[in-house]
């Protein structure tokens, strides 16, 4: 989305400290983070999103960070800023993992990595938990892309750690058709010899009613359970395709 659409609504970070640095706007962490945002060329905060009240909306708020829209030149980007009260000391580990995932288009592109924040592409669409596919083909495309991305994370030996609850961990880019899913939030990620993202995500998809109902995933679980068990010992693309192809054959 181009900048002129938000031309009248862009605020200096110092004027919205209580929004971007919730819940401690007067903290030293906040002052340092804002200074470094400006040094990186991130110009101002754009009120937009589903979180917050009044005109000062943000994209999201978690236990370790506040996520908001910002202006960067003529581009709008998402900024994930370390919460001043977070038990984490920096965003560096998440940023390193995010950068690796973004190289494979698993995560949105990472532009800036700093101790206090990440600057990434703004994905213009809902979280998976709020997503309603228009057709079975669209639902199958999203599921296929997600399972392949979970498999790539497994091959990279990155355990996301939260894919059993994918409703808040996946964003859908609805600016393209069919929508492209991206796995976000790597603050709980670890390096693991057996990450288990693929099987964890498949189980998590059962909790997404719009997709699970349309593709009858719950009804098929007992039929693919054996394949999923085999994947734990044989993490190959052929096993992944076997699961995906089975879902496709029985969903059209």
Q: With 70 as the cut, is the pLDDT of residue 252 above it?
A: no
Range 12-38 average pLDDT: 97
What number of other Cβ atoms are within 10 A of residue 229's Cβ? 11
- Residue 141's pLDDT is 97
DSSP the chain: -BGGGGTT--B-GGGGHHHHTTT-TTSHHHHHHHHHHHHTT--EEE--SSEEETTEEESEE-SSEEEEEEEETTEEEEEEEE-TT-S---SHHHHHHHHHHHHTTSSPPEEEE-SSEEEEEPP-S-BGGG---SSHHHHHHHHHHHHHHHHHHHHTTEE-S-TTSGGGTEEEETTSSSPEEEE---TT-EE-SS--HHHHHHHHHTT-HHHHHHHTHHHHHHHHHHHHHHHHH---HHHHHHHHHHHHHTT-
pTM of the model: 0.94
Residue-wise pLDDT for 54-99, tens only, equals 789 999 999 999 999 999 999 999 999 999 999 999 999 999 999 9
Residue-wise pLDDT for 95-129, tens only, equals 999 999 999 999 999 999 999 999 999 999 999 99
Residue-wise pLDDT for 170-206, tens only, equals 999 999 999 999 999 999 999 999 999 999 999 999 9
Q: With 50 as the cut, is the pLDDT of residue 2 above it?
A: no
- Under the banding of pLDDT at 50, 70 and 90, the label for residue 250 is low
- Residue 7's pLDDT is 54
Provide the b/e sequence for 101-122 (b: ≥16 CB within 10 Å).
Answer: bbeeebbbebbbbbebbbbbbb
């Amino acid at each position: 989305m181009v900048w002129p659409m938000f031309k009248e609504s862009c605020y200096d970070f110092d004027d919205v400290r209580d929004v971007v640095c919730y819940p401690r706007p007067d903290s030293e962490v906040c002052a340092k983070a804002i200074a470094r945002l400006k040094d990186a060329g991130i110009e101002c905060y754009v009120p937009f999103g589903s979180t917050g009240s009044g005109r000062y909306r943000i994209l999201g708020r978690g236990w370790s960070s506040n996520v908001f829209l910002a202006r960067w030149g003529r581009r709008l980007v998402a900024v994930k800023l370390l919460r001043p009260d977070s038990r984490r000391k920096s965003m560096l580990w998440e940023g390193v993992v995010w950068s690796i995932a973004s190289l494979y288009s698993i995560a949105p592109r990472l532009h800036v990595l700093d101790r206090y924040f990440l600057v990434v592409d703004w994905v213009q669409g809902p979280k998976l938990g709020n997503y309603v596919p228009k057709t079975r083909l669209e639902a199958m495309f999203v599921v296929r892309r997600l399972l392949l991305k979970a498999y790539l994370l497994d091959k990279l030996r990155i355990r996301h750690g939260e894919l059993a609850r994918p409703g808040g961990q996946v964003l859908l880019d609805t600016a393209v058709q069919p929508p492209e899913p991206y796995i976000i939030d790597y603050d709980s990620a670890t390096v693991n010899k057996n990450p288990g993202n693929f099987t964890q995500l498949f189980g998590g998809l059962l909790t997404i009613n719009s997709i699970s109902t349309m593709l009858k995933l719950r009804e098929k679980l007992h039929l693919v359970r054996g394949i999923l068990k085999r994947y734990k010992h044989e993490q190959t693309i052929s096993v992944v395709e076997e699961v995906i192809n089975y879902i496709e054959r029985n969903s059209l």
